[in-house]
Amino acid sequence: MFPLLKTRPKARKPAPPETRTLDVAGRLMPLTIKQHDQATRITLRIEPGGRALRMTVPRGLAAREVNAFLDRHQGWLLTKLAKFSTDTGLRDGGKILLRGVSHRIAHTGSLRGLTEVVSVDGSPVLRVSGMPEHVGRRIAAFLKKEARADLERLAAAHAATIQAPIRSISMKDTRSRWGSCSSEGNLSFSWRIVMAPPSVIDYLAAHEVAHLKEMNHGPRFWALCKKLCPGMEEAKSWLKRHGSQLHALDFD
């Protein structure tokens, strides 16, 4: 007789995440609920910028338990979300950070014209043309251009220091990370970093360039990162304290 062959049980196909809108004291928040085999409890997180929620639950958890958890944590959510203002201030007379410096927004009233930084009575002003409802988009386009100029220059300098070639550099609007580096040498950065002080922008460039040599976050990586950017710890601390504020701005 032939011995019975043992067959491996088929891996369960992960359930697709559930998406819904949660009303938190009148503030409508996108909520993603994901089931996880290894989860033993419910976890609820606020996405960077405070514009969405993410929930992880044990697989098969009853919907009534999910709803009860959300009801119990309404007060907690309300307290945490109060830190994120819904008023972006991206309008005439508002303020926007550029390289760590607050600039007053001045809408020119003209339908055409460049978005540019000027000095008025010794104070920095960002002049924006176009329709009033498009001010946010025009500011975003300006920030992307400025971010690319800064990061291409800084990344090239750091890459030359460690003699590592860069294949490409792209600007994105990622929420989960400020930058990335692929094994092929493609660097990606969040253009929102240009609102941070120059030392923080430099740290981000150094961080991703260091990955060209060390595709990890081990001791050798951090040593190389600090060699490229001696002010690394201060920059990391700034991002931890203020990064969510940069993500919170809605330019649309």
Does the pLDDT at position 92 exceed 70? yes
Among 192, 100, 104, smallest CA distance to 143 is for 192
Strand (E) or helix (H) holding 223: helix 219-228
Choose between 37 and 157: higher pLDDT.
157
pLDDT of 191-201, one tens digit each? 999 999 999 99
Is residue 98 within 8 A of residue 194, CB to CB? The reply is yes
Percentage of the residues of the chain whose pLDDT score is greater than 70: 93
Q: Is the pLDDT of residue 168 over 70?
A: yes
Domain 94-248 = CATH 3.30.2010.10: yes
| pLDDT of 121 higher than 60 | yes
Q: Is the pLDDT of residue 1 over 50?
A: no
Q: For the whole model, what pTM was predicted?
A: 0.74
Domain positions in the chain are 18-82, 94-248
**CA-wise closest residue to 208 among 155, 247, 157:** 155
For residue 235 the two structure tokens come to: 């920059």
Mean pLDDT, the chain, as a whole number?
90
